[in-house]
Amino acid sequence: MDPRMKAELDLLVERMRALTGATAAHVLMLEDGELVQRAACGIQERIARTPRDRGLCGVALSTGRPVLSRDVETDPRAYLPGGREYGMRSVVIVPVSAGSHPAGLLIVSSRDPGVFGERDVAVLELLAGVLSSALEARMHNERLARVVETQRDIDAAGLDLDRVMNLIVERAMDLTNADGAMVSLIDGDELAVAAARGIATRIGERRAIAESVARFAFAARDTLLIEDAAADERINRRWQAEIGDRSHICVPLFTGDEPVATLDVMSASETERLGEDDRRALELLAVGLSAAVSRASEFRAKARFEAVFANALTGMMVMALDGTILGANRALQELLGRPEEELVGVKADVFVHADDRQAATDRAHRVLAGDLRSTLEHRYVRPDGGDVWVDVSLSVVRATDGGDGFIIGVLQDLTRRKAAEAALRAQAELNHHQALHDGLTGLPNRTLFRDRIEQSLHRARRADGTLAVLMLDLDRFKDVNDSLGHAAGDALLVEIGRRLDGMLRASDTVARLGGDEFGVLLPDPTSVGDVITAARRVRAAIQEPVIVQGLPLSVDASIGIALFPRDGLEVETLLKHADGAMYHAKQENVGVAFYEASRHDDDPVRLTLVGELRRALEDHELTLHYQPKASLADGSVSSVEALLRWQHPERGLVPPDQFIPIVQQTGLIMPLALYVVDEALRQCRAWLDGGLRLAVAVNLSTRNLMDADFPPQVETLLARHGVGGELLEIEITESAVLADPARTRQVLERLAALGIRVSIDDFGTGYSSLAHLRRLPVDEIKVDRSFVSGMDRDEDDATIVRSTIELGRSLGLDVVAEGVETQAVWDRLAALGCTYAQGYHLSRPVPAGELAEWCAARATPATSAGRRRHR
């Protein structure tokens, strides 16, 4: 070890001991696979060698992490003879690296247990970082000196190519601490090994280029660094098994545009793998080999470094110490878009982007001062004004004969990577925006609206303030959709969203919550009068006619208002109460309504109906009837639709349209959905036990598709009844899907993951875009009965049905025709290629017992054939 480094290490151990209060401090360096003590303080210094894998030192080196042992005597990781020899009871060991390789250890110890803590670990980590930087700078300078020395030796070898190639192999292993290296020359379609050492001698003398990793280096015209050879598909597995390399570098060599040879370096170490520093060193070393190969192939001497650096694959330039360009290779000229005559004689920073120039200049000055090796990403400006991103590596070659030294700059083109990074950032920002905003109007969506309310609630609680939540629903909007089409409806929604967003304060929030429903947040209104004024302004803005397709369209709005803290303290409560007030405004045709607890919670009629429904659920008065779906190909029945009926003790059988609307306005919709699924699965299990395999379809509401807890609850019911997910289908309407597409998609994907089939009910009556439908885990679409029942009499209906069937087939979906009531319709659907039919022509909805008898009486028994899983 040179005296300067020894003095620095002696000073380092003194500081280690002083900063930690240790009894002793040591610096151990890795040399020839062993740990050698190179500095010590507090104990007698001696040259001691220790195996690198022994005890706590081995733990620190193998993991690359600090080791803190509060008592060596009780630490199972410790090597006790060593600890006792040095009088250690407590110890901190921190690994030191140089580049990507471990270089040594910093150790402080005490004769007493429990002396050190995390602060001492942090101190040693800081000192280890300082030592690592010094070692890296020293290693880089040593490597560069060896490259220059190698170049001189190559020049001395002249045209003796064998001597040059063996010299390159020897120096390549020396520079990288590799276990093998070889130089291979191209001979036709093969690579012929011209010089090899170490594990590289295990490979044969010749190998096909098409099977070698070299073909990728030639194609890329760049050096390949493979840090995990076992997992990289470019590595030939047979050769890798013979050589045993764990990391690999392949440097392609060219003469002009023609590949002529490769320099391959291999490491068999699991822990000390070849890295970026090794790649850079080999590229510089390969310059000399390229020169020698060119000399031999062209039969003329190329002794100067500048003659071959012109053919380097990466941009390179030689500069005087003041930054003036002395030479630039062809790759650099192409990279910067400037011929050599425009570059030579000009200082390099002239071409650096103005925003990056100071950083580039500062880094060059620090390199010249010997503080560190430089790599810096910055931009150069091309003549056309365009920017090119580069990774610039600067290396200083000091003169040894009293003359001037020079700087070698290696420039790697990063433009594509930077463009990809910018694209990824832009896409991430777009994804984040889309997740929180409505795709049609650009307004905040339900998720962002809830978050804004939560933030305003936090501020209002802290300042003892108030806020208002407005829910508004457009009146007569359905008339626009029905008469002019959904494109006109979308244009109307966009304009209303623009008006609302432009008329309120910057602190207010306007959101589209789904369909024709909007929300408004008014944080900290000064009075109820301010809220009323804002609501009236909102309504007036909506009532103003909108010109769509050349027609003035007029709609109105019903607005419900809930106030904090009067009407609720949490987000859910305020939204629910504002929603209830909105329905009251719509039903009573009053335009604007505030939430009133008595009106919504104490209404006797409503309470009676809700109470009866609760009792009906508890007493199992709600029953299921089942209507079969048959294959139009062979008439087989593999599934049925469960339809809800209320067997009221006084009113008799109550149809769904008389009680489902009440359920949807209350919290009963969630338990009712689980009730239906539970009953359907119980019946499915009973049929299975009786030898009848039928899948059961149940209908879900919008609120079910918004409930993140619904999929795990269904999973529990499937397990309870022992029924596979493939025997359960869910039917949803287009409008339910569009209410909140993001949340709906999440719930549907979780249900689909259980094997449950998803069917779009009443398809054609809503507005599902093809792109949106493709993104959902849908297996089936059901053509609405309003089109099917009249298709044998009305060609418009028949055209709609035929188009829907063709759409389903193009998307790989099953198509079910509802409302099949005649044999003529059945036959026509079969001719069109429809998958299934459902309707009174087959069977009306019947109780479970009657359905089993019906199936038994059919000539074609029920079967599960033809059913498929999700795409």
Weakly modelled stretches of the chain, pLDDT under 50: 298-304, 600-602, 605, 766-767, 860-871
Consecutive H or E run containing 449: helix 446-463
Three-class DSSP category at 619: coil
CB 91 within 8 A of CB 124: no
Nearest to residue 35, comparing CAs of 14, 56, 7? 56
DSSP helix/strand/coil, 90:
strand
**CA dihedral sign of residues 40, 45, 51, 56:** negative
CA angle 540, 542, 544 (to 5 degrees): 70
Closest CA relative to residue 515, chosen from 785, 223, 735, 823 = 735
Query: Which of 714, 725, 612 has its CA nearest to residue 663?
Result: 612
**Residue 864: both structure tokens together:** 């599960």
The span from the CA of 839 to the CA of 837, in Å, is 7
* DSSP single-letter state for residue 718: H
Q: Which residues contact 626 (CB under 8 A, 6 or more apart)?
A: 640, 641, 642, 643, 683, 696, 845, 846, 847, 848, 851
Amino acid of residue 502: G
C-alpha angle 370/375/381, rounded to 5°? Answer: 120
The residue behind tokens 């040693």 is 124
Per-residue model confidence (pLDDT) at position 866: 34
Contact between 10 and 131 under an 8 Å Cβ cutoff? The reply is no
Nearest to 778 by CA among 801, 811, 804, 823: 811
Q: How far apart are CA 729 and CA 779, in angstroms?
A: 10
From residue 757, give the alpha-carbon distance in Å to each of 643, 683, 695.
Answer: 17, 18, 10
Rg of the chain, C-alpha, whole Å: 39
Q: What is the pLDDT of residue 681?
A: 96
Residue 384 pLDDT:
86
**How many angstroms separate the CA atoms of 616 and 612, rounded?**
6
With beta carbons less than 8 A apart as the criterion, state whether 59 and 67 touch: yes
What is the reported pLDDT for 80? Answer: 82
Task: State the angle between helix axes of 477-484 and 486-503 in degrees (0 to 180), rounded to the nearest 10.
Answer: 140
**What does the alpha-carbon distance between residue 516 and residue 692 come to, in Å, rounded to a whole number?**
45
Spatial CB neighbours of 328, under 8 Å, sequence gap ≥ 6? 315, 316, 317, 318, 336, 340, 343, 344
Position 753 scores a pLDDT of 94
Taking only the tens place, the pLDDT of each residue in 282-328 is 887 777 667 666 655 544 333 445 555 656 667 888 888 888 888 88
- Specify whether the CB–CB gap between 814 and 777 falls below 8 A: no
How confident is the model over 396-443, as pLDDT tens digits? 877 655 567 788 888 888 877 777 777 777 777 777 777 788 888 888
User: In this structure, are residues 302 and 295 in contact, taking their beta carbons and an 8 Å threshold?
Assistant: yes
The HSE-up count of residue 584 (CA atoms within 13 Å, CB side) is: 21
Cβ partners under 8 Å of residue 114, min gap 6: 70, 71, 90
Which residues lie closer than 8 Å to 207 by C-beta, 6 or more apart? Answer: 184, 190, 191, 239
- Give pLDDT, residue 305: 56
How are the residues of the chain apportioned to helix, strand and coil, as percentages rounded to the nearest 5?
Answer: 45, 25, 30
pTM of the predicted model as reported, rounded to 2 decimal places: 0.37
Which whole-number Å values give the CA distances from 270 to 62, 161, 603, in the listed order?
Answer: 10, 34, 76
For residue 385, the tally of other CB atoms under 10 A from its CB is 6
H or E segment and range at residue 368:
helix 357-368
Angle in degrees, 0-180, between the axes of helices 528-543 and 486-503, rounded to the nearest 10: 140
